[in-house]
Structure 1
Amino acid sequence: MFKYLLMLLTAFSALCIESFARKDEERIAKRDSILKNIVPPSFPDNHFVVTKFGAVGDSLKNSKPAFDKAMAAAKKKNGGKVIVPPGVYILNGPIHFVSNVNLELQKGATLVFGTDAKDYLPVVFTSWEGTMLYNYSPFIYGYQLENIAITGEGVIDGNAKESFNTWHGLQKESQLRSRKMNHENTPFNERIFGEGYYLRPHLIQFFECRNILIEGITIKNAPFWCVHLLKSENITARRVKFDAYNKNNDGFDPEYSKNVLIEDIDFNNADDNVAIKAGRDYEGRRLGLITENIIIRNCRFKGLHGVVIGSEMSAGVRNVFVEDCTYGGYCKRGIYLKSNPDRGGFIKNVFINNVAFGEVEDCFFITSYYHGEGSGFETEIKDVFVNNLKCKAATNAGIVIQGFPTKKVTDIYFNKVLIESCKKAISFTNTENIVFNDVIIGEEVSVPSHVK
């Protein structure tokens, strides 16, 4: 009997190893096919230097009119490069992009946005926490455009610490109003916020745009999410640095978007480094615009959470690759997939490969019951593959998976995981088919002791 059992265990182990190898081949093929569809935009060889349109980088003069004129001139010539020379430029109001424009912030150039909320009116069509509505304009905003970029070695400073950041404690009534409109399917043109409400604008938002490049810049002090990529596709973000400590200062938020490459980023955010989203509750399920084909690689994580999927993900998220990433400092959680039974939708085909964290609270966390609330629309979470995940210390938990009684989390595979120390190793509830191969949580056990 023992010999038979040993043969079964050996066969099962070999089958698991073969399965992991096969899945890794599938991962590489799928990732490479996605990468072929992500191509940075190119631009006409026209230059529009903002100082020639009246901008002054003296940290005093309002240069917004000059930026507007430069964008208009670029549009008239069918695009080109809007160049910002070294200097500190005050912008009392938003930059509204046009197609075929690369906004180049040269080394030593800083954009500082004004703090008067009225300067970001009239309201524009946007989204807030997964609900479509009209609100203050994002500080840099592009709607239904193609071939757009922000590049260079300059800085975008939202300057929001003492202004919009303070709205966080005042937003609840407006937040609940937006969610009620979502659940009741209120027509978009009746969802008017802006003045008299406290929904903070995004720093950068590209909405229904194609062919986007964000490269080299430093982003700091945002009023809300830093870079919101909404209903957009073919996006490259690389060599960006974050220094964003305000409330809800997520780094990148791709939502209802596809074919996104985020690489070589230095994160330092008070909130999620990357938060992958796909709409909230009824509206997300109704629109059904899946967020898919997201590749995150060669990044340094630092902030609240490294990579998050959710919690607004009601249309579904699939084909997410996190590869060859490490940490630049502390994260509360490393990898975090979160939903609740108000959302519905799905999370599937997530690949974590060669990722390391230092000290965290929780290394890897999946929950179907975020905030312990919701009913009626459980989320399907399945097919998550974790290979070569390392963590120095988890002060709370190593690996947590929380399914829902009527919709269990299934088919989660761990291969070569090392969590050097943690308070709690594993906590699984409402799960099925969780597979481990070469997993060490806590100090590795070596040769067993024996009687001397």
Structure 2
Amino acid sequence: MAHSCFRTGLKPSATYNCLIKAETKNGKLSPASISTKFTTNAKGRVLNIIDFGAKGDDVTLNTQAIQKAINECPKGGAVLIPAGTFLSGALYLKGFMTLKVAKGGILKGSINEADYLPMYNNRFEGWEMKTYASLINAGVMNHDGGFVVEQLSIQGEGTIRGGGTPLAKQMIDKAGLRGRGRLFCLMNCKNVELQGLNIENSPCWTIHYIYSKGVNCHDLNIVSTAHNGDGLDPDSSDDSFIFNCTFSTGDDCIAIKSGKNPEGYIIGKPTCNVRITDCDFAKGHGISIGSEMSGGVSGVLVRDCKAGPLLHGMQIKGTKDRGGYVKDVTVMDCALQQITIFSAVNYNNDGAAAPVLPTFENFSFSNIDLTGALIKEPVIDINGFNDPQHKLRNVVFQKINLPEDAAVKITDADNVSFQNVKTVSGKAPKYLAENSVIRHD
């Protein structure tokens, strides 16, 4: 079992040596790794937004004052949101800076839709389009590549709070359901860190990053209740690391995406190398891949996570119209309550179809505790596409613990293996296989 830890109180411009050890579930430590040396950055200038005229009274609109501090922040510097409640509209961050929200500080999004104008180009529900800006914005969207913002950090012990449902309703009235901004929207960004914050009350998706690389999200507490209130959405982005986070959301806790139908398939920018570890998923629809996965998704690891009664548990989802692929997914050492693979969903199905059917293949689920699952539906329910060339294939379930009288359902799948899959009393589950080739103990 891998656990993440961080040293605090480090001095600027100082060199440190560290050793890394792994810890088993029984608390036994491995031998130390080879010593690793690193040097901290020099201390940058800190710009307190109060010095730019901001007022933390939960009444004054501070957009211009905060944006001025951001614009004047030198390379390596930080903009500080101190204690207090600072109301703001859309803010635009840049590279080589830190936005820090201090303990007791709240950056609060306005509930007036006009504070998120002008509308700008981004991507939502798989399509590139114009929407309202988000509260926190960085970068400019370009699916042909290139990074316009690098080395950005958003951190602290405080809170970033959106305008929530009241703001969403205004945005929908003016620009439709897909016209809403998010709480965070990062585009064509590289090496971004989001750390330590309470993040809550988005008008729809909470943290959305598009065409980006090296986004690290850790030690976050993400809470949403909005319609489409996803917690975190990596979208056609590489090298994403999500760890030590808690989620309680009104939709998917995490939804890994890569565009929709012909547009997403033609742009063809996959999401690759996503690591989700040591997270707690208290409430939401799922730990999800899809349903917009037309550019492809591969190299996903979910490990040492715990999920409560999510609507669909750990899920991989798409439709026959998506195109693209989901492959090389590993889920291990987790406590879940359901595993689902959907080849049809009853939402976000408008628009033309991609020129090919999607492919779902090469999934591994091991050492999973599903004993807390309800048994009114199959605890494991996996489905491929009803086409001989596009069945779900090459799936392994190994060392899975199920509740008594649990059922496992497999539809339109080939080469699915169940090894040491048992109920709490040591019995085999009931297997319900249709148009599938499976093997089990």
| Unmatched tracts of structure 2, length 5 or more | 1-37, 140-147, 429-441
Kept in 1, the 8 Å contact 2:224–2:249? The answer is yes
Kept in 1, the 8 Å contact 2:113–2:171? The answer is no
**Which residue pairs with 2:253 in the alignment?**
273
Aligned length: 374
Q: Does 1:369 align with 2:336?
A: no
Identify if the C-alpha distance between structure 1 residues 119 and 295 changes in structure 2 by more than 3 Å, giving closer, same or farther: same
Identify if the C-alpha distance between structure 1 residues 338 and 415 changes in structure 2 by more than 3 Å, giving closer, same or farther: same
Identify if the C-alpha distance between structure 1 residues 79 and 122 changes in structure 2 by more than 3 Å, giving closer, same or farther: farther
Code of the residue aligned with 1:426 in structure 2: it is V
In 2, the alpha carbon distance for the partners of 1:399 and 1:377 equals 27
List aligned pairs for 1:175-194, cutoff 5 A: none
User: Deviation at 1:305?
Assistant: 2.9
Q: Does 1:414 align with 2:397?
A: yes
Identify if the C-alpha distance between structure 1 residues 78 and 154 changes in structure 2 by more than 3 Å, giving closer, same or farther: same
**Which residue pairs with 2:111 in the alignment?**
115
In 2, the alpha carbon distance for the partners of 1:387 and 1:219 equals 32
2:422 to 433, 437, 440: 440
Kept in 1, the 8 Å contact 2:113–2:170? The answer is no
Deviations 1:246-293 (A, max 9, x none): 111111100010001000001111111110000011111111101000
**Which residue pairs with 1:340 in the alignment?**
319
The structure whose residues are more often helix, as a share, is 1
Kept in 2, the 8 Å contact 1:305–1:335? The answer is no
Deviations 1:41-96 (A, max 9, x none): 9686111111111111111111111101101111xx224111111100111x2111
In 2, the alpha carbon distance for the partners of 1:152 and 1:379 equals 41
Identify if the C-alpha distance between structure 1 residues 289 and 162 changes in structure 2 by more than 3 Å, giving closer, same or farther: same
Code of the residue aligned with 1:82 in structure 2: it is V
User: Deviation at 1:160?
Assistant: 1.7
Kept in 1, the 8 Å contact 2:235–2:271? The answer is yes
**Which residue pairs with 1:138 in the alignment?**
134
Higher relative CO (Cα under 8 Å, sequence separation at least 6) belongs to 1
User: Deviation at 1:445?
Assistant: 3.1
**Which residue pairs with 1:191 in the alignment?**
none
Deviations 1:4-43 (A, max 9, x none): xxxxxxxxxxxxxxxxxxxxxxxxxxxxxxxxxxx9x968
In 1, the alpha carbon distance for the partners of 2:87 and 2:42 equals 26
In 1, the alpha carbon distance for the partners of 2:154 and 2:385 equals 42
In 1, the alpha carbon distance for the partners of 2:253 and 2:426 equals 31
What TM-score comes out, normalization by structure 2 length? 0.81
**Which residue pairs with 2:364 in the alignment?**
385
**Which residue pairs with 1:234 in the alignment?**
214
Q: Relative to structure 2, which stretch is displaced further, 116-125 or 269-278?
A: 116-125
In 2, the alpha carbon distance for the partners of 1:43 and 1:82 equals 16
Kept in 2, the 8 Å contact 1:43–1:147? The answer is no
1:150 to 148, 151, 154: 154
List aligned pairs for 1:26-425, cutoff 5 A: 45-74=44-73, 77-91=74-88, 93-143=89-139, 144-165=148-169, 195-198=174-177, 199-327=179-307, 329-357=308-336, 360=337, 363-371=338-346, 377-391=356-370, 392-394=372-374, 395-406=376-387, 407-421=390-404, 425=407
Kept in 2, the 8 Å contact 1:288–1:316? The answer is yes
User: Deviation at 1:112?
Assistant: 1.2
Kept in 1, the 8 Å contact 2:237–2:270? The answer is yes
Deviations 1:202-261 (A, max 9, x none): 110110000100000011110010000111001111000012111111111000100010
Kept in 1, the 8 Å contact 2:209–2:235? The answer is yes
**Which residue pairs with 2:19 in the alignment?**
none
User: Deviation at 1:336?
Assistant: 0.4
Aligned CA RMSD, in angstroms, stands at 2.2
In 2, the alpha carbon distance for the partners of 1:268 and 1:431 equals 32
In 2, the alpha carbon distance for the partners of 1:413 and 1:223 equals 38
What TM-score comes out, normalization by structure 1 length? 0.79
| Unmatched tracts of structure 1, length 5 or more | 1-38, 171-194, 447-452
Kept in 2, the 8 Å contact 1:83–1:106? The answer is yes
**Which residue pairs with 1:173 in the alignment?**
none
User: Deviation at 1:435?
Assistant: 0.4
**Which residue pairs with 1:6 in the alignment?**
none
User: Deviation at 1:101?
Assistant: 1.2
Identify if the C-alpha distance between structure 1 residues 353 and 214 changes in structure 2 by more than 3 Å, giving closer, same or farther: same
User: Deviation at 1:431?
Assistant: 0.6
Code of the residue aligned with 1:142 in structure 2: it is A
Deviations 1:168-223 (A, max 9, x none): 6x6xxxxxxxxxxxxxxxxxxxxxxxx54442111101100001000000111100
In 2, the alpha carbon distance for the partners of 1:153 and 1:421 equals 43
In 2, the alpha carbon distance for the partners of 1:43 and 1:320 equals 35
Deviations 1:391-439 (A, max 9, x none): 21234221111111211000000000012146x6111111100001100
Deviation beyond 4 Å, 4+ runs, structure 1: 41-44, 165-168, 372-376
In 2, the alpha carbon distance for the partners of 1:445 and 1:113 equals 53
Identical-pair percentage = 28
User: Deviation at 1:443?
Assistant: 4.5
User: Deviation at 1:119?
Assistant: 1.4
In 2, the alpha carbon distance for the partners of 1:79 and 1:51 equals 20
**Which residue pairs with 1:176 in the alignment?**
none
Q: SS at 2:295's partner residue?
A: coil
User: Deviation at 1:306?
Assistant: 3.5
Q: SS at 2:427's partner residue?
A: coil
In 2, the alpha carbon distance for the partners of 1:294 and 1:256 equals 11
